[in-house]
Amino acid sequence: MLYAILCYKDEDVVAAWSAAEDDAVMERLGRVHARLERDGKLGPSLRLLPTTAATTLRKASEPPLVIDGPFAETKEQLLGFYVVDVADLDEALGIARDLAAANPGGAYELRPVLLYNPDPRPPLARPAAG
């Protein structure tokens, strides 16, 4: 079963990290990622740019209104997400706990993925990760 693990954290805190602090967190997360990749559990994972780069389309008006910034003002922002292929919620929670140990603070929201569209392009045609 596929689960999305949505990563929330105060982006001002993350933005205040030094390069060394950011590198240390990414190294710890990298160890979790390597294990998940080895076990065939890790799908796409993305780190989002700051909410200052966001644009929102609000559907409530006609025509829909496009505004700069995130959908909602909150203490924690969606900073990224993982898609994992696991047996059940308990396994997804275990992965979220491992991610939380590598990057303390914030929250992880887990949601089952009901519709999955795999990337039909052959591996060499996909954009390089980076």
Which range marks the domain in which residue 31 is found? 2-48+76-116
- Does residue 62 lie in a domain region? no
Whether residue 124 lies inside any domain: the answer is no
Residue 56 lies in a domain: no
| Residues ≥6 apart with Cβ < 8 Å to 100 | 108
- Residue 66 pLDDT: 81
- Tell whether 93 is covered by a domain: yes
In-domain check, residue 64: no
Q: How many domains does the chain have?
A: 1
Give the per-residue pLDDT at 9: 93
In a domain, 27, yes or no: yes
Looking at residue 48, what is its pLDDT? 93
The number of C-alpha atoms within 13 Å of 96 and in the hemisphere containing its C-beta is 23
Successive 10-residue mean pLDDT values, the chain, 130 residues: 93 94 96 96 93 84 74 77 95 96 92 80 63
CATH code, 43 = 3.30.70.1060
The answer to whether residue 60 sits within a structural domain is no
pLDDT at 42: 95
Residue 71 lies in a domain: no
CA distance 74 to 129: 30
Q: Tokens standing for 99? A: 């991610």
